[in-house]
A and B are shown apart, each in its own frame.
Chain A
Amino acid sequence: MEPTLKFFSGFAPNDLWFMGEAALRTLWISVLSISLGTVLGTLFGWMLYEGRRAATLTLAPVLDVFRSVPLIIQLVLFYNFAPIVGLNLDPFASGTVILTVYTAALVANVARGGIEAVGAPMRRAARSLGLSYWQDLRHVVLPIGGRAVFPSWVGVALGVMKDSALVSVLGYVELLKASQILITRTQEPFLILALAGAFYFALSYPVSRYATHLENRWAQ
């Protein structure tokens, strides 16, 4: 008697490695997008603050679009339509581009708020000491405004990390995609989704703990 053909096999220790690797990909695409997006978003925030009419007319509406349209729609549209204009990007690159722009759109407002938080009197005081515009920006506005909006920025960063799960729709095997693959094979969605959740938690929790630690230190 031939053994029955087995389509499904249970969750094996090996699969934990598979998920771990996928978690690293989640971490990698998140760190990359959040870093690039923060730099770009800070630049945008500064332009919104300084640019007045020009930036409000051009940049602000574009950022509004990226902030308002669901990320999953942005990802699918960009991945499928970028080749039309000759951009053949793999899922990872497409995901990184969209996550970066999305982060930048969110960070732009945070950064503008940070600059506003420093206030004109503080900046006049800095300039009165002979600091140039850029020295004031680097040594006074960045540290003071940065600390003021740091909690908001951490919120954005953690949000983007979780939202990076949506890149799975492009086929990039990050944590959620890996989980879907395993669920299809093992038919154990409860266990695997719980594990995936634990991985996300393990990525977020240290960040948020470290952020709290920094905030407490600055509060002194």
Chain B
Amino acid sequence: MISIRDLHKYFGALHVLKGIDLDVQKGEVLSVIGASGSGKSTLLYCINGLEAIQDGAVTVDGTDVHAKGTDINKLRQKLGMVFQQWNSFPHLTALENVALAPRIVKGKSKAEAREIAAMQLQHVGLGEKLDVYPGALSGGQQQRLAIARALAMEPEYMLFDEATSALDPELVGEVLDTMRLLADEGMTMICVTHEMGFARDVSDRVAFFHQGVMEEIGPPAQIFGDARSEHTRKFLANVR
């Protein structure tokens, strides 16, 4: 379980997250929606410790992410993350991209790591592209490569930070399909997204962020059909 308690995050004087309380259960798919700058992405960075926090706590399966003694590199193995920019390693083939972390972080043998990598690339539909360099892949394929790379560490949670925002419209579908596939397999996911269709159809709950505050959270039907907050209704009216 991911547990967030009274989380405050500042960038200098800018108060980006203003006391977030949130629990995400194993197996749950949570979509986080809201305008740009509302703090959604920062929330993900705070969950896997890529950003420090100023107050409150984030715990993952009982481990305090931001505590001094926490082995953050070990904890991050549980928390796969996919970014808006796919960030494939350009000097490695698709297979090597995925095999790198299992080999050097988990200490798997080269053969073992390659086997895991081939399996995960198959999983996201890139089984034919094992020996291709990222430069020869489309944006959608590179994003699926990024998903495979995260999955190769056998994470228990997946964090998606606007995984489809940087893609050409015709490539969004293949990435969303891959995310749907993971959700169907029971992966615990937190998806910061602008894809309202995905949020409505796939998530168990949807959280709406507004200016650093979690304005409301609930089942998709309630958020999309009967939002309590004025801000949520206004936002949804604008994105539709």
Contact B76 A129 (CB under 8 A): yes
A162 at the interface (CB under 8 A from B): no
Q: Which of these binds chain B: A66-74, A92-100, A140-148, A202-210? A: A140-148
Given the contacts A131-B105, A144-B90, A218-B91, A125 and B146 also touching, CB distance less than 8 Å = yes
Q: Report 28 cross-chain contacts, Cβ distance below 8 Å, ordered by A residue.
A: A121-B87, A122-B87, A122-B89, A124-B45, A124-B83, A124-B87, A125-B81, A126-B87, A128-B48, A128-B79, A128-B80, A128-B81, A128-B150, A129-B77, A129-B100, A129-B150, A130-B73, A130-B74, A130-B76, A130-B77, A130-B105, A130-B153, A132-B73, A139-B100, A139-B104, A144-B89, A218-B91, A220-B133
Count CB-based A-B contacts (< 8 Å): 62
Convert A22-65 into 0s and 1s, putting 1 for each residue whose CB lies closer than 8 angstroms to a CB of B. 00000000000000000000000000000000000000000000
CB neighbors of B among A112-155 (8 A): 121-122, 124-132, 135, 139-140, 143-144, 147
Using CB atoms and an 8 Å cutoff, list the residues of chain A in contact with chain B: 121-122, 124-132, 135, 139-140, 143-144, 147, 218, 220
The minimal Cβ–Cβ distance linking B213 to chain A, given in whole angstroms, is 25
- Contact, CB under 8 Å: A147 / B153: no
Whether a CB of chain A sits under 8 angstroms from the CB of B181 is no
Query: 7 other contacts beyond A128-B80, A144-B89, with CB at 8 A cut-off?
Result: A121-B83, A122-B89, A130-B76, A130-B101, A130-B153, A135-B104, A218-B91
Q: How far is the CB of A122 from chain B (nearest CB, A)?
A: 5
**A residues less than 8 Å from B105 (CB atoms):** 129-131, 135
Whole-angstrom distance between the Cβ of B49 and the nearest chain A Cβ: 9
Q: Mark B78-115, 1 if CB is under 8 A from A, else 0.
A: 01110101010111000000001100111000000000
How far apart sit A128 and B81, CA to CA, in the bound complex (Å)? 6
Of B101, B106, B133, most buried by chain A (CB within 10 Å of CB) is B101
Indicate if B67 sits at the interface (CB-CB under 8 A). Answer: no
A127 close to B50 (CB less than 8 A): yes
